[in-house]
């Protein structure tokens, strides 16, 4: 079946602009995660959605970052007033449930803030 | 919160040799430990994982060991091949509480033909 998809694949924006990144998880997966990977670095957790529970936002680096998940499926990560340090690859992952189930990653969105 | 340390940061081996990557974690409540392989410009792909009720797991040339007492786990790749060259990440998570993965900083493995 189809894997996790993300759009756009690349995004170039100017400092101060807002951006929206989209994630389509694997059908039927109830858990969805956003991670950020800076150049040559590991993956940094941002936010986690599990079913209808309140999201775990503990990894969001500032209040400029927010995310929502509509209808328990598609998720959008929004970065307001982008800064150059926001430049990174933003990866989405989904799993059949939270915790010890395998997380499958999307191809990522490469964000460049000029 | 959880902290995962990974060593070495880079590893170069000759084709056919074995490679070992080690990780330690801080939170004794963590009970799931996956390993991901990431090729340049590609998404991370799960290669093997281990749960806390198991001490060792093997899949062909890849094996993972877990020592819960010492809070460390290791990835072993035998008979390495050039296509094993990639960045490898270890991670840890909990079934309850924070369920997102905490990743190590990665190991760049280069297999010399």
Q: Residues B41, A111, A108, B73: is their CA dihedral positive or negative?
A: positive
Query: Closest Cα to residue A49, out of B84, B99, B90?
Result: B99
Asked if residue B59 has pLDDT above 80, the reply is yes
User: How long is chain B?
Assistant: 113
| C-beta of residue B94 within 8 angstroms of C-beta of residue B68 | no
pLDDT at B1: 79
Cα B82 from Cα B15, distance rounded (Å): 7
Asked if residue B98 has pLDDT above 80, the reply is no
Which pair of structure tokens corresponds to residue B84?
A: 């094993």
Min CA distance, B18 vs chain A (Å)? 24
Asked if residue B37 has pLDDT above 80, the reply is yes
Choose among B51, B98, B103: nearest Cβ to A43.
Answer: B103
pLDDT at A51: 84
Model confidence at A98, in pLDDT bands (50, 70, 90)? low
Min CA distance, A37 vs chain B (Å)? 10
Strand A109-113 and strand B45-51: the pairing is unpaired
pLDDT, mean of residues B64-86: 96
Query: How far from each other are the two terminal CA atoms of chain A, in whole angstroms?
Result: 37
Q: Residues B99, B100, B105, B107: is their CA dihedral positive or negative?
A: positive
pLDDT at A99: 59
Task: Verify whether the Cβ–Cβ distance A105 to B34 is below 8 Å.
Answer: no
Cα A31 from Cα A25, distance rounded (Å): 9
Asked if residue B79 has pLDDT above 70, the reply is yes
Q: What is the pLDDT of residues A50-87, one digit of tens each?
A: 888 889 999 999 999 999 998 879 999 999 999 999 99
pLDDT at A111: 97
pLDDT at B97: 60
Q: What is the pLDDT of residues A6-59, one digit of tens each?
A: 999 999 999 999 999 999 999 989 899 999 999 878 899 999 998 888 899 999
Cα B2 → chain centroid: 16
pLDDT at B63: 97
In order, the DSSP letters of B13-49 are EETTS-EEEEEEES-TT--EEEEEEE-TTS--EEEEE
Task: Verify whether the Cβ–Cβ distance B99 to A50 is below 8 Å.
Answer: yes
């Amino acid at each position: 079946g189809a894997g996790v998809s993300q759009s756009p694949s690349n995004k170039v924006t100017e400092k101060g602009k807002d951006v929206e990144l989209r994630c389509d998880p694997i059908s039927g997966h109830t858990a969805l995660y956003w991670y950020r990977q800076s150049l040559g670095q590991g993956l940094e957790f941002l936010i986690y959605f599990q079913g209808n529970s309140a999201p775990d936002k503990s990894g969001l680096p500032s209040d400029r970052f927010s995310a929502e998940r509509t209808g328990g499926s598609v998720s959008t990560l929004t970065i307001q007033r982008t800064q150059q340090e926001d430049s990174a690859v933003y990866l989405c992952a989904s799993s059949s449930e939270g915790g010890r189930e395998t997380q499958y990653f999307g191809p990522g969105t490469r964000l460049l803030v000029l | 919160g959880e902290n995962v340390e990974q060593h070495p940061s880079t590893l170069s081996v000759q084709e056919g040799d074995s490679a070992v990557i080690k990780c330690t974690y801080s939170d004794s409540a963590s009970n799931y430990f996956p390993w991901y392989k990431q090729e340049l410009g590609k998404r991370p792909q799960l290669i093997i994982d281990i749960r806390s009720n198991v001490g060792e797991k093997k899949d062909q040339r890849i094996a993972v060991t877990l020592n819960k007492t010492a809070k460390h786990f290791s990835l072993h790749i035998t008979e390495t091949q050039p296509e094993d060259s990639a960045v490898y990440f270890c991670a840890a998570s909990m079934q309850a509480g924070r369920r997102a993965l905490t990743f190590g900083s990665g190991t760049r493995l280069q297999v010399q033909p």
